[in-house]
Amino acid sequence: MAELKLFRTWSSPFALRVVWALDLKGIQFDTIFEDLTNKSSSLLQYNPIYKKVPVLVHNGKPLAESLVILEYIDETWKQTPLLPEDPSERATARFWAKFGDDKVLPSVWNVFIKQGKDQEEAIVTAHENLRNLEGLISGKKFFSGETIGLVDLAFGWLANLLGVFEE
């Protein structure tokens, strides 16, 4: 049987994306929980450039960066596809997933960590970004339509972390 290991932490939303993708496809894997204050030599060996989780190791071959990992999973295990077949719909899904990581997440994080006037400005930016998402999901069950797809996994952190940050 193929060897599949996922290095993660309990709280990393990026690692959770990979867990959800593997679970959706019914794929078995081993989990290695990392302590980010004391990273294992395996993690540093498998992800020397970013030294972060998640890292997926498939038959000894490591992969880092959650969106890269999600596409790899989708190409390797074809059941329950995460991306649509049509190239322009795939491009749109990739665009929104990247928008989430490049803009939405940092803007929400800024609201969480900043104070005073900086926080007020951060709130305005976060709201603008979230309005884009509101337009995207309008009338649909999931961002990807009737079933969960790449964009839903990319934005999954909104479902629980926004509530945590708001509090």
The residues that touch another protein, with contacts defined as CB under 8 A, are: 49, 58, 61, 63-65, 67-69, 71-72, 75-76, 87-88, 90-92, 94-95, 98-99, 132
Rank residues 145 and 160 by Cβ distance to another protein and give the closer one. Answer: 145
Closest contact distance (angstroms) between CB of 38 and another protein is 24
- Omega of the bond prior to 84 within 30 degrees of 0, cis? no
Rank residues 26 and 135 by Cβ distance to another protein and give the closer one. Answer: 135
Three-state DSSP class for residue 68: helix
Closest contact distance (angstroms) between CB of 76 and another protein is 5
Query: Which of left, alpha, beta for 139 (phi over 0: left; psi -120 to 50: alpha)?
Result: left
Rank residues 67 and 148 by Cβ distance to another protein and give the closer one. Answer: 67
Rank residues 21 and 67 by Cβ distance to another protein and give the closer one. Answer: 67
Rank residues 87 and 163 by Cβ distance to another protein and give the closer one. Answer: 87
Decide if 143 contacts 96 (C-beta within 8 A).
yes
Closest contact distance (angstroms) between CB of 160 and another protein is 25
Closest contact distance (angstroms) between CB of 120 and another protein is 22
Closest contact distance (angstroms) between CB of 114 and another protein is 20
Decide if 88 contacts 44 (C-beta within 8 A).
no
**E strands, the chain, in order:** 4-8, 30-33, 55-58, 61-64
Q: Which whole-number Å values give the CA distances from 127 to 71, 75, 81, 124, 148, in the listed order?
A: 29, 34, 31, 5, 24
